[in-house]
A and B are shown apart, each in its own frame.
Chain A
Amino acid sequence: MNFELVAVLMFASMLAMLLTGRHIFAVIGGVASAFALILWGKGGAGLAFHASFNLLNWYPLLTLPMFIYMGYMFSKSGIADDLYTMFHVWMGPINGGLAIGTIGLMSIIAAMNGLSVAGMAIGATLALPEMLKRKYDKIMLTGVIQAGSSLGIMIPPSVVLVLYGMIARQPIGRLWLAGVFPGLMLAGLFILYILGRCLIQPHLGPALSKEERRIPLKKKLLLLRSGIVPLFIIFMMSGLFFLGITSLVEASAVGATVTTLAAVFNKRLTRKGMVEVLRDTLSVSCMFMWVILAALAFGAIFDGLGAVHAIKGLFLEYGFGPWGIIIMMQLSYLLMGTFLDDTAMLIIVAPLYVPLVIELGFDPIWYGVLYTITCQIAYLTPPFGYNLFLMRAMSPKEITLSDIYRSIVPFVIVMVIGLVVVMMFPKIALWLPSLYYGK
């Protein structure tokens, strides 16, 4: 059988079975196992386990449970509460200020965590109720929280870039540094959007009332202290890593430990809270890992079929130029990302695309950043996005599913603009790593 036919059959049967609501890992793994048997008979039977055992070669994956733990611990530590108060007081007086403050808060959280979960949890439980109380437009702020939390996978540390780095065999340090400016740029674009929108329609984000604004300057300045702990955590984790003192996996363990200590010193950590953190960490780690295991088996089939050459042939056959190919790749990611689990998509598709990207003469570090922005968009877009599960589970009752769907539209547009800008000006991503590590 030729590759195109197998690929289409595999994706089609996977999609059909995903729609039944069966667990994603089971569908991906089941389809992979079935096709391994069909294609290679008895020899294909061992593929699923073999692929999952290969996961042990990917030692940077150790950062995944560490970052998940850190995210949950962070949301329990009370550090975010103080930070939120700071942004609330400082940004509140302008129209849309609380939404802008939330983007700021999310950026700082993103610099302390490699996933979006922590930002989403803190945004939905802390910022959302406060903004609703102050008559912010619920659709706008639902979008703010989802878009803001997606920065978690762009601003270093980033688990998505770790996964990409393993697949593309690129140094994680460079990838993380490459994510700094695109991440900040996206945060800036979100803020610009909020500012502009609230300038035209001030009722969407009313400024704080006079009474609420009357806070002595001294108190305001003291609030800035809440930034010290995050800076310390960022230094201990990313700082020591970029200085070359700790290795990648060590840095994640240091980060997890420092966050735990911060929670203990804040006196926020109860026995019950600790058990919750451990349980949620186990549950989410297992979810990701079982999906990754299954996706590895799925990818192994493509590998066995020589899919890299087939994809190359496919793209060249239709006469796309190098840029045409890059654009087609991003479009295909966006399309698949709406239906597929982002992690699974990365593991299945990235190994096919990355060799071609390198062969076309593009920088794989830059491509990693493009990929991550696409992932952020995929993470937001329905019908499948983790944000939908999280938002529905965490947000107050008055936020309906259709609010969640509608809220993302402007932010997705902003992110697509960001994607295009980084495509046109690769320096935005590549300047910092080449400054720090040299060419």
Chain B
Amino acid sequence: MKNAVKAYVHAIDSTSRATGKLVMFMVFGMMGILLYESISRTIFNKPHIWAVEFSQFVMAAYYTLGGAYSYLIEGQVRMDIFYHKWSPKRKATMDVITFSILAFYLVILLHGAYKGITYAIEYKQVSYSAWSPVLYPIKIIMTIGIVMMMLQAIAEFFKDLARARGEDIPKEEIEVEESK
């Protein structure tokens, strides 16, 4: 790999990894809100109109922002009936070719996201609920997640390109440091 490409891949990998390690704690956020709500509602008889919807926003942030990390650690599932039998080089070559469909999907998603955000801001779009929060912040967060997924997909594309040419680049090890 060229140095500039190497730097790009390194930068994106570490960004996705850092984001993933932060985002994974959001599951406690969802749990906390829902638990707080169930106690507040059942024991103190004080329901909150924002609880479920807000935890949904946390969930949307959770899986969109975590997407790039899951992609990096091979968490996304493939139908590998043939794929798992291939050599690493063959796998990489195929991934280079089929990168186009992923890129196409992400571009379309981004295009829609851009339109969705401008619409949400222009018309001050709110959700149909008693709480009726404005929707553009969550749309922006989701869009950031899609952009990160795109950057990660490009990084993986570079890695596969190098592997297809015979360079030996290991897949991201799924390992946890004791310190974290």
A: residues with CB less than 8 A from B are 17-27, 29-31, 33-34, 36-37, 45-50, 52-53, 55-56, 59, 61-62, 65-66, 69, 245-247, 249-250, 252-254, 256-257, 271-272, 275-276, 278-279, 281-287, 289-291, 294, 339, 341, 382-384, 386, 389
Is B56 located at the chain interface by the 8 A CB criterion? yes
A59 in contact with B31 (CB, 8 Å): no
State the interface size on chain B (CB cutoff 8 A). Answer: 65
B115 in contact with A46 (CB, 8 Å): yes
What are 17 A-to-B residue pairs whose CB atoms are below 8 Å?
A20-B98, A23-B77, A30-B101, A30-B104, A48-B112, A55-B60, A65-B63, A247-B38, A247-B52, A249-B52, A279-B176, A282-B24, A284-B75, A286-B70, A286-B75, A290-B63, A290-B67
B38 in contact with A253 (CB, 8 Å): yes
Secondary structure at chain B's binding surface: helix, strand, loop or mixed? helix
Complex CA distance for A45 and B70, rounded to whole angstroms:
26
Hey, which chain A residues are within 8 Å of B101, CB to CB?
Answer: 17, 22, 26-27, 30-31
Hey, which chain B residues are within 8 Å of A341, CB to CB?
Answer: 77, 79
Query: Assuming the A-B contacts A21-B78, A26-B105, A291-B77, are A281 and B55 also in contact, with contact meaning beta carbons closer than 8 angstroms in the complex?
Result: no
Hey, which chain A residues are within 8 Å of B71, CB to CB?
Answer: 23
Query: Assuming the A-B contacts A253-B35, A287-B76, are A26 and B102 also in contact, with contact meaning beta carbons closer than 8 angstroms in the complex?
Result: yes
Secondary structure at chain A's binding surface: helix, strand, loop or mixed? helix
A253 in contact with B30 (CB, 8 Å): yes
Contact digits for B62-91, partner A, Cβ 8 Å, 1 yes 0 no: 110011011101011111111110100001
Least distance between B142 CB and chain A CB atoms (Å): 7
Query: Assuming the A-B contacts A62-B52, A247-B38, A294-B105, are A56 and B60 also in contact, with contact meaning beta carbons closer than 8 angstroms in the complex?
Result: yes
Least distance between A81 CB and chain B CB atoms (Å): 22
Complex CA distance for A56 and B77, rounded to whole angstroms:
23
Interface centre among A31, A286, A339 (most CB of B within 10 A): A286
B82 in contact with A246 (CB, 8 Å): no
**Residue from the list A48, A249, A294 in contact with B55, Cβ < 8 A:** A249
Contact digits for B142-180, partner A, Cβ 8 Å, 1 yes 0 no: 100000000000000000000000000000001010101
| 9 nearest A-B residue pairs (beta carbon) | A49-B112, A21-B83, A283-B75, A253-B34, A286-B70, A250-B38, A30-B101, A289-B63, A26-B102
Hey, which chain B residues are within 8 Å of A50, CB to CB?
Answer: 112, 116
**Residue from the list A31, A65, A289 in contact with B30, Cβ < 8 A:** A65
Least distance between B95 CB and chain A CB atoms (Å): 7
Hey, which chain A residues are within 8 Å of B83, CB to CB?
Answer: 20-21
Is B140 located at the chain interface by the 8 A CB criterion? no
Complex CA distance for A252 and B71, rounded to whole angstroms:
26
Complex CA distance for A31 and B104, rounded to whole angstroms:
9
B: residues with CB less than 8 A from A are 20-21, 23-25, 27, 30-31, 34-35, 37-38, 41-42, 52-53, 55-57, 59-60, 62-63, 66-67, 69-71, 73, 75-84, 86, 91, 94-95, 97-98, 101-102, 104-105, 108-113, 115-116, 127, 138-139, 142, 174, 176, 178, 180
A22 in contact with B78 (CB, 8 Å): yes
A66 in contact with B109 (CB, 8 Å): no
Hey, which chain B residues are within 8 Å of A55, CB to CB?
Answer: 60
Query: Assuming the A-B contacts A66-B30, A257-B31, A290-B63, are A24 and B79 also in contact, with contact meaning beta carbons closer than 8 angstroms in the complex?
Result: yes
Interface centre among B57, B79, B104, B109 (most CB of A within 10 A): B79
Hey, which chain A residues are within 8 Å of B30, CB to CB?
Answer: 62, 65-66, 253
A56 in contact with B127 (CB, 8 Å): yes
A249 in contact with B34 (CB, 8 Å): yes
Least distance between B79 CB and chain A CB atoms (Å): 4
Complex CA distance for A48 and B142, rounded to whole angstroms:
13
Hey, which chain B residues are within 8 Å of A282, CB to CB?
Answer: 20, 23-24, 27, 62, 66, 69-70, 75
Complex CA distance for A34 and B53, rounded to whole angstroms:
32
Name which residue of chain B comes closest to A386, CB basis. B77
A245 in contact with B42 (CB, 8 Å): yes
**Residue from the list A46, A247, A285 in contact with B63, Cβ < 8 A:** A285
Name which residue of chain B comes closest to A294, CB basis. B105
Given A21-B79, A21-B95, A246-B38, 19 more pairs with CB closer than 8 A: A22-B94, A22-B102, A33-B104, A33-B108, A34-B104, A48-B109, A48-B112, A50-B116, A53-B139, A56-B60, A246-B42, A250-B41, A254-B38, A279-B21, A286-B69, A287-B70, A289-B67, A290-B63, A339-B79
Least distance between B157 CB and chain A CB atoms (Å): 12
Complex CA distance for A284 and B120, rounded to whole angstroms:
30
